[in-house]
Amino acid sequence: MNILHITPNSVAEELDIKAGDKLIGFDGKDKVDFIDYQYYSSQEEFVMSIQQDGDIVDFEIVKSVEEDLGLEFEDNIAIKQCRNKCAFCFIDQNPPNVRKSLHIKDDDYRMSVVSGNFITLTNLKEEDYTRIISYGLSPLYVSVHSTDTATRQKLLGNLKAKPVLPILEMLHAHGIVIHAQIVYCPTINEDYVKSIKELSPFVKSTAIVPLGLTKYSKNGLVPVTKDMSIKVVQDIEELQKQGYKAYCGDEFYFKAELELPDYESYDDFEQISNGVGIVRQFDREFDEQLAEVDKLKGKYTIITGTLATDLMKGIASKCNAKGATVQVITAKSLFFGGDVSCAGLVTGGDIISACQGIDLSTQDKVIIPKTMLKEFEDIFLDDMLLSQVEQAIGHAITVSAVDGVALLEHMM
Ligand code: SF4
């Protein structure tokens, strides 16, 4: 692994390891990746082999668990690709000519641990399971969809997918914490209640989220309707009453036009990365922060997707009651179309369309959530640059982190 940067005052700096050197291995083991690095970073005694100017130097490290090794690597991780052909795969529903990175179908257990990505366990080898267990890689986020093997194979488009319950049982027995998800595809996995019950001994939580269809979907899947959403919400709330750790994605409540559950009913918000409880959490953070503020001033425009519009309108009226003038603009997803509604899939072009005919010149700030942009870059999913969108709407754009505290700070 090529070392890009050394953190000041770290173990690596003390050892005179330099950017440009190479991490070769730990404890005599070569072929290491960022998971090995993470594991050894939290160990106290080990040997770290570094290639410096063509020589391999073995450093005997003795440090505290908390002490940072201080290595940063070039971002050239070979991500493990998925072997499935899910009928509902969002990547296959991309508009033509989207950038290459939007075609990457990752199914990498390492990214599940690091970033909470959902994986299917269909591409894991024996050695991967050994590694997960020996390093205690936890929690893992697993796309189950159905505990019935034939139904799961159909949804994954993969007849080689092995029965998932014995695998989860084995991981659970070794102390690996698992959060499961079911993507609800009407008429296909109507067995979700049974699946949640069967999963419960082995997983910490199960979330059910609706499939998303763009206007480019070709698989003839049935869209999730209001009535279907009402039924899913009722079924899950009944399971919760019976003590199951099952949660509905916020989208079901919006589609069902039902009030979201209380903040408390999301427990530890363990499925937040799956959009489960994000509205309640955002609202709570915002309210707590707003309670500390006597007065607000200024004019602000918040741009969001269809899904978060009501949340943002509620936030706007709370700010307006404290003296600010906040308006909300809904940017519909014209780029993806279909029933795509989340802010993270709003593009630069969608923002320009939504702002057409609206005079933003009097606004102090025009605010968008960070999720609309590529990570670490000011570029939207349609490859428009932030600066191009600013030019088109005639106003600078403020990019806010997706939390209530950050949003309020932009209005103070
Ligand atoms: S597992 Fe399914 S949904 Fe995920 S990337 Fe692969 S094909 Fe797409």
**Ligand 1 pocket member 198 (CB < 6 A):** no
Q: What does the pLDDT read at residue 176?
A: 98
Could you identify the residue written with the tokens 């503020």? 293
Gap from CA of 165 to ligand 1 centroid (Å): 19
What pLDDT is recorded for position 131?
93
* Two structure tokens written together for 280: 């309640």
For residue 366, what are the contacts with CB-CB under 8 A and spacing of at least 6? 300, 301, 303, 360, 393, 395, 396, 397, 398
Q: Which residue has the tokens 């939580």?
A: 205
Does residue 233 have its Cβ closer than 6 Å to ligand 1? no
Q: How far is the CA of 105 from the centre of ligand 1 (A)?
A: 6
Higher pLDDT: 341 or 97? It is 341
- How close is the Cα of 85 to the center of ligand 1, in Å? 6
> pLDDT confidence of 167, banded at 50, 70, 90?
very high
> Would you give the distance in Å from CA 303 to the centre of its chain?
20
| Residue of 109, 117, 120 to mutate, ligand 1, most atoms within 8 A of C-beta | 120
What confidence category does residue 168 fall into, taking pLDDT thresholds of 50, 70 and 90? Answer: very high
Residue closest to 233 by CA, chosen among 255, 266, 262? 255
91-276 in CATH: which number? Answer: 3.80.30.10
C-alpha span between 278 and 89 (Å, rounded): 23
Q: What is the pLDDT of residue 76?
A: 64
Q: CB-based burial of residue 252 (10 Å sphere; 0-12 exposed, 13-18 middle, 19+ buried)? A: buried
Which residues is 209 bridged to in the sheet? 183
Fold of the CATH domain 3-73: Pdz3 Domain (2.30.42)
| Average pLDDT over the chain, rounded to an integer | 92
Q: What are phi and psi of 111, to 5 degrees?
A: -75, -25
Does 348 have pLDDT greater than 90?
Answer: yes
Q: Which pLDDT value is given to residue 104?
A: 81
107 lines ligand 1 (CB under 6 A): yes
Task: Please work out whether the CB of residue 4 comes within 6 Å of at least one atom of ligand 1.
Answer: no
**Alpha-carbon gap, residue 91 to 172, rounded angstroms:** 30
Q: pLDDT higher for 99 or 269? A: 269
Residues 371-377: what's their mean pLDDT?
A: 87
Q: Find tokens 């997918």 and name the residue.
A: 161
pLDDT at 217 (0 to 100): 86
The pLDDT tens digits of the residues spanning 73-125 come to 887 677 888 999 998 998 888 887 677 767 788 899 999 998 899 999 999 99
Q: For residue 25, how many other CB atoms are within 10 A of its CB?
A: 19
* pLDDT at site 184: 97
Both structure tokens of 99:
């950038």
Instruction: Tell whether ligand 1 has an atom less than 6 A from the beta carbon of residue 84.
Output: yes
Q: Which two tokens stand for residue 322?
A: 């404290």
Q: What angle do CA 165, 209, 261 make, to 5 degrees?
A: 110
Nearest CA, atom 8, ligand 1: 89
User: How many angstroms is it from 254 CA to the middle of ligand 1?
Assistant: 25
Q: How far is the CA of 401 from the centre of ligand 1 (A)?
A: 27
301 has a pLDDT exceeding 90: yes
Tokens matching residue 412: 């103070």
Which H or E run includes 21? none
**H helical segments located in 122-245:** 126-135, 149-156, 164-173, 192-199, 226-241
Q: Which ligand 1 atom is at minimum distance from the Cα of 88?
A: 3
pLDDT in tens, 187-237: 999 999 999 999 999 999 999 999 989 988 888 899 999 999 999 999 999
Q: How confident is the model at residue 186, as a pLDDT? A: 96
| CA dist., res. 342 & res. 273, Å (int) | 13
CA–CA dist 365, 352 (Å, integer):
16
| C-alpha 75 – ligand 1 centre gap (Å) | 23
**91 touches ligand 1 (CB under 6 Å):** yes
CATH number of 282-409: 3.40.50
Ligand 1 atom closest to Cα of 82?
6
HEC secondary structure over 314-359: HHHHHHHHCCCEEEEEECCCCCCCCCCCCHHHCCHHHHHHHHCCCC
Domain chopping of the chain, boundaries = 3-73, 91-276, 282-409
Q: What average pLDDT score do residues 31-53 get?
A: 88
**Which residue among 89, 142, 158, 214 has the greatest number of ligand 1 atoms within 8 angstroms of its CB, and so is best to mutate?**
89
Distances (CA, A) of 80 to 105, 110, 396, 403: 8, 9, 39, 31
CB of 181 within 6 A of ligand 1: the answer is no
120 lines ligand 1 (CB under 6 A): yes
Residue nearest to atom 5 of ligand 1 (CA): 105
Among 293, 231, 283, 243, smallest CA distance to 262 is for 283
Task: Look at residue 54 in the predicted model and tell me its pLDDT.
Answer: 83
